A and B are shown apart, each in its own frame.
Chain A
Amino acid sequence: MTEEWGAILVVDDDAEMRELVHDVLKDRGHQVSTAGGGEEALKLLAEQDCAVVVTDLRMKGMQGTELLTEIQRLYPDIGVILMTAFGSVDNAVEAMKRGASDYLTKPVKNEELTRVVERVIRETSLRREVSRLRALGIDRKTLYRKLAEIEGKPHPEE
């Protein structure tokens, strides 16, 4: 793995689950930190940069959706992935509408978890790069190409 991977924050009130996600992603070479709830997560985010937050939807204290809202308000460029128990697809869909990057249904296979998380990280990094380029006054063409990469489509001029 290269250092272009941004850091991941795993939020779940279930310690075992938290550690599993941590271990699986860590094995893939990601930089992973964990939090046992929404408040703790926000505290961590205030201290360190992070590309993606993977959070459980139903937790004691702050709910996953509340955390999502807070992150969007404070750090709009961080991708948020919600984990839901099966049977609560409606909640997940609702979360997607409110701006979550993706959702995972428990039980999720490690492979699927990794795939989704890495895709979201990639999107987030690209988006960040676009903003950075734009801030630096980079020409439109480069910008379009980067955007197309996010969308996963080849640029028409290429």
Chain B
Amino acid sequence: MPKQFEDIFEASKDAIAYAAPDGAILLVNRAFSDLTGFSREEMLRMNARDLVPEQHKEQRDRIVAKVLQTGEPVEYEIDYLKKDGSQVPVSITVFAVKGDDGKPTGLAAIVRNLIERKRAEEQFRLVVESSPNGMLMVDESGAILMVNRQIEQLFGYERAELVGQSVEMLVPQRIGSHHAGDRKAFFAHSKSRAMGKGRDLYGVRKDGQEFPLEIGLNPIHTPNGMRVLASVVDISERKRAERTLQKERDFIDAVLETAGALVVVLDREGRILRFNRACEQTTGYSSEEVMGRYVWDLFVIPDEVDGVKSVFKRLRSGEPRSDYENYWKAKDGGLRQISWSNTVLTDSHGTVEYVVAAGLDITDLTQIQEQLRKTERIAELGTLASGMAHEIGTPMNVILGRAEYLLKRTADEGMKKGLTTIITQVERITKVMNQLLAFARRRTPERRPVDLGEIVEDSLEMFQERIALHRITVEKAIEAGLPPVHADRDQLIQVLINLVVNSVHAMPEGGRLKLSLACEGNHVCLGVSDTGHGISEAIRSKIFDPFFTTKDFGKGTGLGLTVVKGIIEEHGGTITVESVIDKGTTFWIRLPLDRAESAATSLPTATSSS
């Protein structure tokens, strides 16, 4: 052997031997000696067969015979006997060395120590065995090569019942055929991935019971072809937990969606994550429209953006909750006043993740409170007025009486004039006080069926002189056969007097006063129109407020229309006003018809006519 070959031969990590066809060892390298523990000299006196334990001798002989016969190299794995009596797993590649005549002159063997590989395999087995997941390995045909204890427990089979069987036995029949196809596809384009992405996977136990599972697939390339190591997790528990969670979510959803309160959930940047139905109804925006938008970009009016942002900032930096009131701009531009209660949701580190705001639309409430405050103020005023009336009644009486007394006794014209002035002024005060008291001390109305047409006529009669004096013509459009309304007659007359007086005052140069009465569904509609100076839009909203008057000081108390409105509302009716400057004003009063009542009770006029 040339020197170079000898060096290569000696340096090889694989053990290399050359033996005669009968097995007598002729040549070994150092690695061979290291592998077996026999010295080179000892080995040269041995037969290759001596290194093979009894149980493998037959296999070895068969292979050697085949190699000598066919000349093809064969690789096989057996154990070798070492000098110390122990065994070492080896992989042997044996081939025939041929002479010039083509006949085999000897056998060459390259022997690789498999101890490391075997150890790795053992480690792999242990890892698989100790995995908390069920693990099984299949080959390309779907045959189970290996399972761990978890698989036995999961599926209820003994290991021996599984190894060598088709993996489809673990798959419910309804999806078994799919599975075989999927498996083939996986072997064709294998890469590590979760199995059955996007759909639920099920396994079937020995007892036939199915259970949900999750499977991870890992392709393993081996000299014997590709294997797939599947990691199987029973997810029954998780599914159950998910279902419970989903149920809880559904419950919360249902609560949120049916709640009358507005509920908005924001992320820590202020973007909307949740927008319940009450929010949709109040703002006119749909949940989809607002999702992900900043709450202050959509709803908060410019003046309040800074305020809202600072409230948000405080919440985000640790304030656990806060109350806040602001306006939200609805989609149609309308403003709603909302009273918010804010709180935060934190993660396990205490960092604020979400800000939850629950709000109540208090727009209407505020209006009601305003109304209530006004009413209370008026009631207070009434108490004050009647108290005051008692106190000033007597002194006013003294002034009035004394003035009248003196007026009667004096002949001095100047004196008479002065006294007359005193008298008229006291009368003026009396009139104001009386109106104020009438307003403040509204008694409980006595309601009975009332013919509105009759009331209109009666009221007009009182004004005949004044109407004529002011060159006012009266027009009446009174629907015949109107059903009665259930009302307090005196109060309704008071209403008409107030309205007619206002109309007359509005037409100092004369004009046309029109009174109309018509049935509108379940209501009677009474209209009082004049062709006077009209009411400007600026003050139209104020005309029903107490003490609001456009008349010169002393001519009006500013209570007339307040009284009218109060009476109409007490009767469950409404009063509205239409007005055009210099064209005229119409007051519309709608009073509910109590049909049941009117059917049961006949009109007093009807009874008196009999």
Beta-carbon contact of B433 and A86 below 8 Å: yes
CB of A74 within 8 Å of the partner chain? no
CB of B437 within 8 Å of the partner chain? yes
Beta-carbon contact of A87 and B433 below 8 Å: yes
Residues of chain A contacted by B69 (CB below 8 angstroms): none
In the bound complex, what is the Cα–Cα distance between A84 and B399 (angstroms)?
16
Select one of B393, B399, B400, B402 contacting A85, CB under 8 A. Answer: B393
Which residues of chain B have a CB within 8 Å of any CB of chain A? Answer: 385-386, 389-402, 404-405, 408, 426, 430, 433-434, 437, 441
Residues of chain A contacted by B441 (CB below 8 angstroms): 87
Beta-carbon contact of B401 and A87 below 8 Å: no
Residues of chain B contacted by A56 (CB below 8 angstroms): 394
Beta-carbon contact of A85 and B404 below 8 Å: no
Select one of A23, A27, A85, A110 contacting B394, CB under 8 A. Answer: A85
Residues of chain A contacted by B400 (CB below 8 angstroms): 107-109
Residues of chain B contacted by A87 (CB below 8 angstroms): 385-386, 389-390, 393, 433-434, 437, 441
The 24 listed contacts between A and B (C-beta, < 8 Å) are A12-B394, A14-B398, A16-B394, A16-B395, A17-B398, A17-B401, A20-B397, A20-B398, A23-B405, A24-B401, A24-B404, A24-B405, A27-B405, A27-B408, A86-B389, A86-B430, A106-B396, A106-B397, A107-B393, A107-B430, A110-B404, A110-B405, A110-B408, A111-B404
The chain A residue sitting closest to B443, CB to CB, is A90
Q: Would you give the shortest CB distance from B94 to chain A, in whole angstroms? A: 133
In the bound complex, what is the Cα–Cα distance between A95 and B394 (angstroms)?
19
In the bound complex, what is the Cα–Cα distance between A84 and B400 (angstroms)?
15
CB of A58 within 8 Å of the partner chain? yes
Question: Of residues 16 to 36 in A, which have CB atoms within 8 Å of B's CB atoms?
Answer: 16-17, 20-21, 23-24, 27
In the bound complex, what is the Cα–Cα distance between A88 and B398 (angstroms)?
18
A85-B394, A87-B441 as given contacts; A107 in contact with B401, CB under 8 Å: yes
In the bound complex, what is the Cα–Cα distance between A107 and B571 (angstroms)?
33
Q: Would you give the shortest CB distance from A111 to chain B, in whole angstroms? A: 8
Beta-carbon contact of B393 and A16 below 8 Å: no
In the bound complex, what is the Cα–Cα distance between A12 and B393 (angstroms)?
13
Residues of chain A contacted by B396 (CB below 8 angstroms): 106-107
Extra contacts, 12 of them, besides A17-B401, A23-B405 (Cβ < 8 A), are A14-B394, A17-B397, A17-B398, A20-B397, A21-B401, A84-B393, A87-B441, A88-B386, A106-B396, A107-B399, A107-B430, A109-B404
Question: Which of B391, B392, B398, B441 has most chain A Cβ within 10 Å?
Answer: B398
Residues of chain B contacted by A111 (CB below 8 angstroms): 404
Residues of chain B contacted by A109 (CB below 8 angstroms): 400-401, 404
- In the complex, which range does the number of interface residues on chain A fall in? 20 to 34
In the bound complex, what is the Cα–Cα distance between A150 and B434 (angstroms)?
33
Question: Of residues 75 to 103 in A, which have CB atoms within 8 Å of B's CB atoms?
Answer: 84-88
Beta-carbon contact of A17 and B394 below 8 Å: yes
CB of A8 within 8 Å of the partner chain? no
CB of A113 within 8 Å of the partner chain? yes
In the bound complex, what is the Cα–Cα distance between A58 and B386 (angstroms)?
13
Q: Would you give the shortest CB distance from A22 to chain B, in whole angstroms? A: 11
Beta-carbon contact of B437 and A86 below 8 Å: yes
Our count of residue pairs bridging A and B at CB distance below 8 angstroms stands at: 75
Beta-carbon contact of A85 and B390 below 8 Å: yes
Residues of chain A contacted by B401 (CB below 8 angstroms): 17, 20-21, 24, 107-110, 113
Which residues of chain A have a CB within 8 Å of any CB of chain B? Answer: 12, 14, 16-17, 20-21, 23-24, 27, 56, 58, 84-88, 105-111, 113
Closest 5 CB pairs of A and B: A85-B393, A106-B393, A107-B397, A87-B389, A87-B437
Residues of chain A contacted by B395 (CB below 8 angstroms): 14, 16
Residues of chain B contacted by A105 (CB below 8 angstroms): 393
Select one of B386, B392, B402, B434 contacting A20, CB under 8 A. Answer: B402
Residues of chain A contacted by B434 (CB below 8 angstroms): 86-87
Q: Would you give the shortest CB distance from A88 to chain B, in whole angstroms? A: 7
The chain A residue sitting closest to B391, CB to CB, is A85
Q: Would you give the shortest CB distance from A71 to chain B, in whole angstroms? A: 22
In the bound complex, what is the Cα–Cα distance between A67 and B393 (angstroms)?
20
Residues of chain A contacted by B390 (CB below 8 angstroms): 58, 85, 87-88
In the bound complex, what is the Cα–Cα distance between A108 and B401 (angstroms)?
7
Residues of chain B contacted by A21 (CB below 8 angstroms): 401
In the bound complex, what is the Cα–Cα distance between A84 and B391 (angstroms)?
11
In the bound complex, what is the Cα–Cα distance between A86 and B394 (angstroms)?
10
In the bound complex, what is the Cα–Cα distance between A96 and B434 (angstroms)?
21
The chain A residue sitting closest to B401, CB to CB, is A20
The chain A residue sitting closest to B385, CB to CB, is A87
In the bound complex, what is the Cα–Cα distance between A86 and B426 (angstroms)?
13
In the bound complex, what is the Cα–Cα distance between A27 and B390 (angstroms)?
27
Residues of chain A contacted by B399 (CB below 8 angstroms): 107
Beta-carbon contact of B405 and A85 below 8 Å: no
Q: Would you give the shortest CB distance from A92 to chain B, in whole angstroms? A: 12
The chain B residue sitting closest to A56, CB to CB, is B394
In the bound complex, what is the Cα–Cα distance between A111 and B408 (angstroms)?
11
Question: Which of B385, B397, B400, B430 has most chain A Cβ within 10 Å?
Answer: B397
Q: Would you give the shortest CB distance from B381 to chain A, in whole angstroms? A: 13
In the bound complex, what is the Cα–Cα distance between A106 and B441 (angstroms)?
17
Beta-carbon contact of B433 and A20 below 8 Å: no
Beta-carbon contact of A86 and B405 below 8 Å: no
In the bound complex, what is the Cα–Cα distance between A110 and B385 (angstroms)?
24
In the bound complex, what is the Cα–Cα distance between A36 and B285 (angstroms)?
76
In the bound complex, what is the Cα–Cα distance between A24 and B407 (angstroms)?
12
In the bound complex, what is the Cα–Cα distance between A111 and B404 (angstroms)?
9
Residues of chain B contacted by A107 (CB below 8 angstroms): 393, 396-397, 399-401, 426, 430
In the bound complex, what is the Cα–Cα distance between A17 and B402 (angstroms)?
9
The chain B residue sitting closest to A16, CB to CB, is B398
The chain B residue sitting closest to A57, CB to CB, is B390
The chain A residue sitting closest to B396, CB to CB, is A107
In the bound complex, what is the Cα–Cα distance between A108 and B404 (angstroms)?
11
Q: Would you give the shortest CB distance from A19 to chain B, in whole angstroms? A: 9
Question: Which of A84, A87, A108 has most chain B Cβ within 10 Å?
Answer: A87
The chain B residue sitting closest to A20, CB to CB, is B401
The chain B residue sitting closest to A23, CB to CB, is B405
